[in-house]
Chains A and B, each alone.
Chain A
Amino acid sequence: GAGVSQTPSNKVTEKGKYVELRCDPISGHTALYWYRQSLGQGPEFLIYFQGTGAADDSGLPNDRFFAVRPEGSVSTLKIQRTERGDSAVYLCASSSSPNTEAFFGQGTRLTVV
């Protein structure tokens, strides 16, 4: 597609459940980012991939959060044992290289009830 695609656009889950959020970057983009945005805040960095490897995962809040990008394209953010505090919009972005600007998707709004 022309832009970064994220699915689902909305996800409601019960506390304690496992969720997966998917990101399809722009074709050919090697760099992929995950961010989390809470109401009234700027995007907060979670993890950055260059190709298949996580180049920087320093933003993952704890070991319940994990992300993969097995073939260097699509990425999945996985959250185990969800908590109400995980409720936020999860943003994905990609760029053609680390030195170019990133393009963002629409985000997945996660609500943990």
Chain B
Amino acid sequence: AQSVSQHNHHVILSEAASLELGCNYSYGGTVNLFWYVQYPGQHLQLLLKYFSGDPLVKGIKGFEAEFIKSKFSFNLRKPSVQWSDTAEYFCAGRPTSGTYKYIFGTGTRLKVLA
């Protein structure tokens, strides 16, 4: 069965600390991978996406993620977080054929202390 798992449910960091949020996926075939962010009171917004090619993808606001096929992982990173990065982060996968539904992880709630 298709699934996406996020290991960290709550993360608290101080400003300027480095961030890495884990994401693992389980799919039978080729998959596109996404990270979405939900700031307090706002809708889900796309941070970055991986479709093919360079496994290191860069997104908005200094975020990046690396697709490691052998580990079925797509971890999100940021070298130095800011207070404004406080939000909930969702990893999602979508098959490249057949059904195009997104499967989301349970999310990681990040709190950055000023």
Binds A, one of B14-22, B43-51, B66-74, B79-87: B43-51
Give the residues in chain A near B92, CB-CB below 8 Å. Answer: 42
Interface size range on B against A: 20 to 34
In the bound complex, how far is the Cα of B94 from the Cα of A12, in angstroms?
A: 32
Assess whether B104 is in contact with A42, with CB atoms less than 8 Å apart: yes
Assess whether A45 is in contact with B103, with CB atoms less than 8 Å apart: yes
Chain A interface residue count, Cβ-Cβ cutoff 8 angstroms: 28
Q: Which residues of A contact B (CB under 8 A)?
A: 3-4, 31, 33, 35, 40-45, 48, 50, 55-56, 58-59, 91, 93, 98-99, 101-107
Contact of A42 among B45, B100, B106 (CB under 8 A): B106
Assess whether A31 is in contact with B43, with CB atoms less than 8 Å apart: no
Contact of B34 among A3, A31, A101, A106 (CB under 8 A): A101
